[in-house]
Structure 1
Amino acid sequence: MSRVIWFEIPADDPGRAAKFYEKVFGWQVEKWDGPFDYWLINTGSDEEPGIHGAIMPREMGKMVRDTIGVDSYDDFVKKIEMEGGKMLSEKMEVPNMGFMGSFQDSEGNIFAIIETTM
């Protein structure tokens, strides 16, 4: 079974958003040392139910987006399209992570899938 494993929050000012979530929820937020502006969120202990996520500049996304882990990116693309979903971005390699892409479901909601290779 595939589970939601990540979320992303778009923000006009990621630093300001990071302070908000740190102060309100006690989340740990730190700027990612990667090729684009991305802030990693640790929402709590891995022993508790829940997932971690990130804050990103609003131009990278307009709404909260969930990422679902899959065992085969290519197989799930076929399933998504067969059930009325639509590919929004090409398959992208994320260094040291795997392959991911964005999709729209049958109701217009946006989500991403990732096949991890680590």
Structure 2
Amino acid sequence: MSDFFNPRHRDRTYAPDDNLGREQPDMRQTNKVSWFEMPADDLGRASSFYSNVFGWRTPPMGTEGAYALTTAADDSGNPTEVGAINGGIHRRANEADAGPVVNISVDDIDATLERIVAAGGRIIQPRSEVEEFGLSMALFADTEGNVLGIYTSGGA
């Protein structure tokens, strides 16, 4: 699992949105897609591509030389628009690291892994601790073979 993106900003609630007249949702809400990861063989090339095509900021992030991918964001890379999520590009680790992964926040990672298996999914990467960001994470495949990530902050 890459360590390129720090979801600790999910502890914040965002300022009122002028278009909706209400505060944006707390990004720590569970069972929500929180960020995405995309593997790349050439990080600079991938960074340039997304910057040139979509105008995304792609600053280096984390200890692995990865890049963040941000849409409308503050100086810390936190989304500033309702519905926006950010993500990152990390160096492809192996052939199994084939495509993008969306990451979903959960309350209890172990209970969620049990429900995944009971529903016909399978665990790709068991729970692991990402101490740099204070997270527990796991990867799973759904019944259709799609790989997704789940995480929880604070060791739950």
Same fold (TM over 0.5): yes
Q: Which of 27, 30, 52 is the equivalent residue of 2:59?
A: 30
RMSD: 1.6
Match of 1:58 in 2: 92
Unaligned runs of 5+ in 2: 1-29, 74-78
Aligned residues: 117
CA–CA separation in structure 1 for the residues paired with 2:90 and 2:116: 25
Cα deviation, residue 90, structure 1? 2.0
**Highest relative contact order (Cα 8 Å, sep 6+), 1 or 2?**
1
Q: Which TM-score applies when normalising by structure 1?
A: 0.90
Looking at structure 2, the residues matched to 102 and 71 of structure 1 have their Cα atoms a distance apart, in angstroms, of 15
The range that moved more, 72-81 or 38-47, is 38-47
Structure holding more strand per residue: 1
| TM-score of the aligned structures, taking structure 2 as reference length | 0.69
Structure 1 residue 47: deviation in Å?
Answer: 3.3
Report the Cα offset of residue 9 of structure 1: 1.2
The residue identity in structure 2 corresponding to 1:90 is: P
Distance 2:124 2:62 in 1: 26
Runs of 4+ in 1 over 2 A off after TM superposition: none
Q: What corresponds to 2:44 in structure 1?
A: 15
Match of 2:140? 103
- Could you say which residue in structure 1 is the equivalent of 2:19? none
Q: Percent identity?
A: 33
Deviations, residues 93-113 of structure 1 (Å, cap 9, x unaligned): 112331001110011100010
Q: CA deviation at 1:86?
A: 0.4
